[in-house]
Amino acid sequence: MDNLLVFLDSISEEAIAVTVYVFCAMIILLCWHGITKRLPRFLGGMSTILLFALILTPTVSDGHNAAIAPAIFGLAFGIFTKDSPLIWFNLALILFVIGICSIALFSWNKFLDKKQQNNEVNEKSPPL
């Protein structure tokens, strides 16, 4: 038992916090995936991107725990304190992540459509 406590003391608080944060974010995204499977493809993809951006975009806030806080908390803090630069920085980060993920989703959907068209053409062509 003493060895376990020594081992747990050797792990930094930041490493534990980041591990729990990433693990919980993955659980949330997996649960959300279960919900969005029933939605149309575009709506499900965009809502997943929005949730991903809100949960996992890093913040530019100051403070001890700011390194692991999502940007939505920095945005809310900026709104509450009426700190315009903090609001715009966090909003810009969230919108940047949404934009990059939207481009990736668009490219992935184009790839899947092309792959499906190639499979349909191969199924219609007679074997040699």
- 67-101: per-residue pLDDT in tens? 677 888 888 888 999 988 888 998 998 999 999 99
Torsion of CA 55, 57, 59, 65, to 10 degrees: 50
How many CA atoms does the CB half-sphere of 46 hold within 13 Å?
A: 5
In this structure, the number of other CB atoms found within 10 A of the CB of residue 12 comes to 9
For position 99, what pLDDT does the model report?
94
User: In whole numbers, what is the pLDDT of the chain averaged over residues?
Assistant: 84
* Contact of 32 with 46, CB cutoff 8 Å: no
Structure tokens at 33: 């995936």
Cβ atoms < 10 Å from Cβ of 114: 10
pLDDT at 103 over 90: yes
DSSP 26: H
Structural domain span for residue 78 = 2-124
Domain count, the chain: 1
Give me the mean pLDDT over the 43-49 stretch: 89
**DSSP-assigned states of every residue in 44-111:** HHHHHHHHHHHHHPBP---STTGGGSBHHHHHHHHHHHT-HHHHHHHHHHHHHHHHHHHHHHHHHHHH
Q: What is the DSSP letter of 128?
A: -
Q: Rounded to two decimals, what is the model's pTM?
A: 0.74
Q: Is the pLDDT of residue 33 over 80?
A: yes
Would you state the pLDDT for residue 17? 80
Residue 64 clears pLDDT 70, i.e. is over it: no
